[in-house]
Amino acid sequence: MLLLVSPINHEEAIESIKGGADIVDVKNPKEGSLGANFPWVIKDIRSITPNDKLVSATLGDVPYKPGTVSLAAMGAQTSGADYIKVGLYGTKNYEEACEVMTNVVKTIKSQNSDNIVVAAGYADAHRIDSVSPLEIPKIAKDSACDLAMLDTAIKDGKSLFDYLSLKDLEKFSKESHNYGLKVAFAGSIKKDQLKDLNDIDCDVVGVRGAACIDGDRNTGKIHHSAVKELKELCNSF
């Protein structure tokens, strides 16, 4: 299981790399769960990240505007991101989500077929009137994405496990793998939940708060010691 850590700036990216993160995920929590950071931040973090590690960039908690989101995807790609994450926030159903993701995939793959496109849904989708989290695997498959992901939209202390049971997550994982997709889970994941995710064949686990010294994704700062502990746990399973 790969460890994805989400820094917001140069300093946090260095801490993430030093701690052994497999994927350095550039985001901006001020703009939401999957808030987008600036192109120059992505470029800077790509420049300091070893070539054997992937750099991920979130496009934001996106609206149902396929053209706008496709342009954002190309912006992240040309800034150096290998791994393009789309938070399907403003899409209310399968059809809208598929339309957004199909156009993002077309945009990204036409430039570099090796780049990874991620369809990210929200375990608490009912709180934001978004597409159901359990539809994400089919959306990812039908739009030719590479990875299906779940996170939480509203960061108020509740985690992925407050909305979906381990059985639900296992179903999500199995369906995604049956479609030939990789699977990622995030959403205030704690270190004592990593083994459960590993046991249901999660491919990538995403963290920010757990990699911060005080455990707070908004006010805390990522530190290499916390990242190292998480990475060692992932390697121990």
Give pLDDT < 50 ranges for the chain. none
Q: Which residues, 6 or more positions from 177, have their beta carbon under 8 angstroms from its beta carbon?
A: 183, 201
167 is catalytic: no
Number of domains the chain is built from: 1
| Global confidence as pTM | 0.95
In DSSP terms, which residues pair with 121 in a beta bridge? 150
65 is catalytic: no
Out of 27, 141, 155, 182, pick the active-site residue.
27
Q: What is the DSSP letter of 132?
A: -
> What pLDDT is recorded for position 213?
82
Out of 30, 85, 171, 191, pick the active-site residue.
85
* Angstrom distance (rounded) from CA 74 to CA 42: 13
CA distances to 1, 26, 117, 122, 192 from 58, rounded to whole Å, are 20, 7, 10, 14, 26
Domain that holds residue 19: 2-236
Give exposure, 153-164, as e/b (b: 16+ Cβ within 10 Å).
bebeeebbbebb
CATH assignment at residue 146: 3.20.20.70
Tokens of 132: 């159901």
* Angstrom distance (rounded) from CA 86 to CA 104: 9
